[in-house]
Amino acid sequence: MSLTNETIKDRLKAKFGDQVSNFEEPYGLLTFEAPKDLNLKVMQFLFDDEELRFQFLTDLTAVHYPGQPGRELAIVYHLHNLKDNIRLRFKVFTPIAQPDVFTATQLYASANWMERETYDFFGVNFVGHPNLKRILNVDEMTYFPMRKEYPLEDQTRIDKDDAMFGRGPGGQVGQGADEAKH
């Protein structure tokens, strides 16, 4: 019998009780949330359990929600059970002031660079990571560029006299409309 979202949910509930929460199924993909100090326990359980066998880490990344005090950074794991061919997504939230989350490198070798990338762009401190340093950005960088407080350059700015790139003092590029929602 192949695995269903319901079964996974029941198994997780049986093991972790109310600590795993916010079960959803957007576009059919089971999504849930766990407390951040349980992230390894949940992953280990999903990995080892004879029925679940989520042994392939598809993707690991983070999302910044500046509007949620105490839960600003979400670390998102996409796991895949290749035998039953079912995926799931689980998230842990961490305050941005102390973004410490346990590393998954002992479980998945692939997590190494993905965690480095997440650290590089969001500043998530993966506790226990063997080599947590920047990977795509320069080592000298002092901030974490994918956080929402660093907007892309405002195209309406007029302090740059750079007529070659269409940014004359008149500011001809994309006036106003761009700022409508973001």
Partner 1 sequence: MSVEHHIKLPEGSIEKTTTTLNLGPTHPATHGVFQNILELDGERIVSAEQTVGYIHRAFEKLAERRPLYQITTLTDRLNYCSSPINNMGWHLTCEKLLGVKTPKRVDYLRVIIMELSRISDHLICNSVVGVDSGAFTGFLYVMQYRELIYEIYEEVCGSRLTTNMGRIGGFERNFTNAAWEKIEKFMAEYPAVLKEFENLFTRNRIFMERTIGAGPINAERALNYGFTGPNLRAAGVDYDVRVHTPYSSYEDFEFEIPVGSTGDCYDRFLVRNGEMWQSLRIIEQAYRKIQDMKGAEADVYHADAPSYYLPPKKDVYTKMEALIWHFKIVMGETEIPPGEVYQSVEGGNGEVGYYLISDGGRTPYRLHFRRPCFIYYQAYSELTKGSMLSDAIITMSSLNLIAGEMDA
Residue numbers at the binding site for partner 1 (CB under 8 A): 26-27, 29, 31, 55-59, 61, 63-64, 76, 78, 82, 85, 87, 89, 108-110, 112-114, 117, 121, 134-138, 145-146, 152, 177-178, 180-182
In DSSP terms, which residues pair with 63 in a beta bridge? 74
Return d(Cα 102, Cα 128) in angstroms, integer.
Answer: 7
- Of the two residues 17 and 181, which places its CB atom closer to partner 1 in the complex? 181
* In the complex, least distance from residue 24 CB atom to partner 1, rounded to whole angstroms: 8
* In the complex, least distance from residue 14 CB atom to partner 1, rounded to whole angstroms: 26
Return d(Cα 43, Cα 39) in angstroms, integer.
Answer: 6
- Of the two residues 37 and 58, which places its CB atom closer to partner 1 in the complex? 58
- Of the two residues 2 and 17, which places its CB atom closer to partner 1 in the complex? 2
- Of the two residues 28 and 70, which places its CB atom closer to partner 1 in the complex? 28
E-assigned strand segments in 26-102: 30-34, 56-64, 73-81, 86-94, 100-102
* In the complex, least distance from residue 109 CB atom to partner 1, rounded to whole angstroms: 5
111, 104 contact by CB (below 8 A): yes
